[in-house]
Every structure is written in C-alpha cells, then in structure tokens.
Amino acid sequence: MRITFRLPASTSNFGSGFDVLGAALTLYNEFSIEQVSMPAQSGIFISGQGCKGLPKDEANIVWKILQETLRRLGKPAIKLSEYKLTISCNVPLASGLGSSATAAAAGIALADAVSNAKLTKQNMAEIATEIEGHPDNAVPCIMGGLCLCFLQNGKLDFCKIDTQKLKIIIAHPAFEISTHKARQALLKEYPLADIVFNISHASLFVFALQTQRYDLLEAALDDKIHQPYRIKNIDYADEVFNAAKKAGAFGTFISGSGPSLAAISNSECAQGIAQAMKNAWVKRGIETKSFILDFDEQGLVRL
C-alpha cells in the first residue's frame, strides 16, 4: 500500500518573533512510501524544485529521520532495499521556507505509518522540534496556521493566531543561505534593551492581527535580534523591502533565515507587491521567483 503525506512550506520569525512565530503556507512537498516485492523497484526517487544533488541512498535526510523516529519509538529499522520512497519537491531548498521542516515532519509521519505507532500530531511536532532545534517551522508545518510556540514546564505548546485571510508574498532569489550559516551570524549575547524591544514588538504583532490594525504591522515586524545581522548576507534586501512597501505591503521581514524575503498584504495589493519585489532583485541581475501564498490551516495531511 502506498502511503502519501503532504507537508506545507512555512515562514518563520515574522521579524520580532524570533524562534517563536511561524506559519504554514500554501506551497507543498509530498512524500510517499510503499513496500515493494523486488529490490529493483526499491530506492529513493526525487523530483521537482532543487532536487538535483539530493542523496538517493540511506544518507537522504527523510530516510535518516524515518529510521531515527523508528528507533525512538522502539520499532525495528526497515531496509531501503524493501521500500520505495518518493519525494516531490516544490519548496525551494535553503530558502527560508521550511524545506528542512517538511523533511523532518515527513520522516516522522512515514515512520509512524509504516510502524502503526499511532502518533498524534502533537507527538510529531515534539519530535520534529527536537530534530530541528526550534519549533517555529516544525510546529506550523505539522499543525498548520500561524503558530505562536512556547515551552510550558519544559513541554512544547502553541497557540494559533487568526490571520483574517491575509496574503504572504515571498520573493525567492537564486542563491541559498544555509540555516547554520545564518545562525552563525547572530550574537551570543544581546543587550537587555534589544530583548525588551523584541518582546514589545512581538506582542504588538499579535495585537495587530487580533484587532486587524494592519497599520501597526510595519512597526511590529521590526527586530533587533536576528534581522540586522542576517540582512548583511542578503544582497539588496533593503531595496526589495522598500519596493514591497511602496507597492502597498503592510510590512516586510526576512523569511526564516533567508534569503527569501516576505511581505504581508491584503489580496488587492498582492500581485503588485510580488512583481515589485521580484523586479527589485531582477534589475540587480539576480534571478528571482515570487509567490503569492495563503496561510495553510491544515499542516500535515495524509492523502
């Protein structure tokens, strides 16, 4: 029997909500597994966005996380020679759009399915957060929606924030930044004033969405913890942000660790914003794709 899961892309941080805020988006990767009777039918088959060079053996990250999850569950490992794993990629790699979170969530969900462990989505989100090291992509990828993630007595929890049908516009340039490299750009310690600044602005972000005070979003998305350091590695980011704002965006931010840049908008301005952001990079000689996306409310779905 073929088992297939669909996992959404995600954007995270929303400026001031570093490692806390994340949202699932309507751009998807799909992962399927089935047991086969002949070794010639087995293996890992990958197609789609940025798939060239991805491992097609036991080094593949989805396969590794599947096996790690089986180990955590106390279930026996499975042999690649007995299974066919198919991956269809639409989420760009190393782009700040949560491609690694889709891989982690898929590995966990596939392990659950082949072992009949009956994990809940909460269980999966907890394992994915341990693997990813932070919840802001893993939780929305599995749970869907715009999630505010937190630990309570050492246990992962989250709240969903109503997005009122807002649009997320993504401009994705033709260069990559690894999450590891982006985190290396951050400081080890921060002034108390910067921490207080981010707490106040993340709180303002939640208030702005709850009250539909979208005029507050530009301020709410401001940040002093990660964006001032990461933006140095994203060529012409300020020009892209300015283009988005001139085209009517409520606010802009680095999607995850970058290099993709994001804007929040209503549906009326979305197309113009997407074109303006793309053009700002293209005129600098940087090939760019733009996406107009909704918030995905389902998260992980078995098809």
| CATH number of the domain residue 205 falls in | 3.30.70.890
**pLDDT number for residue 184:** 82
184 touches 173 (CB < 8 A): no
Q: What is the pTM of this model?
A: 0.93
Q: Please, is 180 exposed, middle or buried when counting C-beta atoms within 10 Å of its C-beta (0-12, 13-18, 19+)?
A: exposed
Q: Per-residue pLDDT averaged across 220-240, rounded?
A: 95
The answer on 69 and 156 residing in a single domain is yes
Predicted confidence at residue 177, as pLDDT, reads 77
> Of 21-30, 31-40, 172-181, 289-298, where does mean pLDDT reach its minimum?
172-181
pLDDT tens figures, 95-151 = 999 999 999 999 999 999 999 999 999 999 999 999 888 899 999 999 999 999 998
Q: Tens digit of pLDDT for each residue in 64-107?
A: 999 999 999 999 999 999 999 999 999 998 899 999 999 999 99
Same domain membership, residue 74 and residue 109: yes
Give the orientation angle of helix 99-115 with respect to helix 135-143, to 10 degrees. Answer: 50
> 191: how many CB neighbours lie within 10 A of its CB?
10
In the prediction, which pLDDT does 244 show?
98
Distances (CA, A) of 211 to 31, 121, 145: 38, 29, 18
Task: Specify whether 63 is located in the same domain as 208.
Answer: no
Same domain, 9 and 119: yes
Inform me whether the pLDDT recorded for 220 exceeds 80.
yes
Distance CA 211, CA 257 (A): 28
Instruction: Give me the helix-helix angle, 121-132 and 99-115, nearest 10°.
Output: 130
Lowest-confidence region among 180-194, 200-214, 247-261: 180-194
Its domain, for residue 267, covers: 167-293
Same domain, 205 and 225: yes
Shared domain for 275 and 182, answered yes or no, is yes
244 touches 251 (CB < 8 A): no
Domain shared by 7 and 156, yes or no: yes
CATH number for the domain that contains residue 8: 3.30.230.10
Q: Please determine, for residue 53, whether its predicted confidence score (pLDDT) is greater than 90.
A: no
Confidence of residue 228 (pLDDT cuts 50, 70, 90): very high
Classify residue 211 by burial, with Cβ atoms within 10 Å: 0-12, 13-18, 19+.
exposed
Verify that 175 and 288 share a domain, yes or no: yes
Find the mean pLDDT for residues 271-277: 98
Say yes or no: 8 and 150 in one domain.
Answer: yes
pLDDT at 235: 94
Helices (H), the chain: 61-72, 99-115, 121-132, 135-143, 179-184, 192-211, 217-220, 227-230, 237-246, 267-282
**pLDDT higher than threshold 80 for residue 180:** no
Please give the torsion angle defined by the CA atoms of residues 292, 14, 187 and 131, in that order, rounded to the nearest 10 degrees: -80
Statement to judge: residues 110 and 243 lie in one domain: no
Q: Nearest-CA neighbor of 33 among 81, 1, 71, 9?
A: 1
Domain count, the chain: 2
Same structural domain for residues 200 and 105? Answer: no
Neighbours of 110 (CB within 10 A): 25
| Claim to verify: residue 185 and residue 260 sit in the same structural domain | yes
Average pLDDT over residues 169-195: 87
Residue 303: pLDDT band (50, 70, 90) is: very high
pLDDT for res 164: 83
At 113, which amino acid appears? A
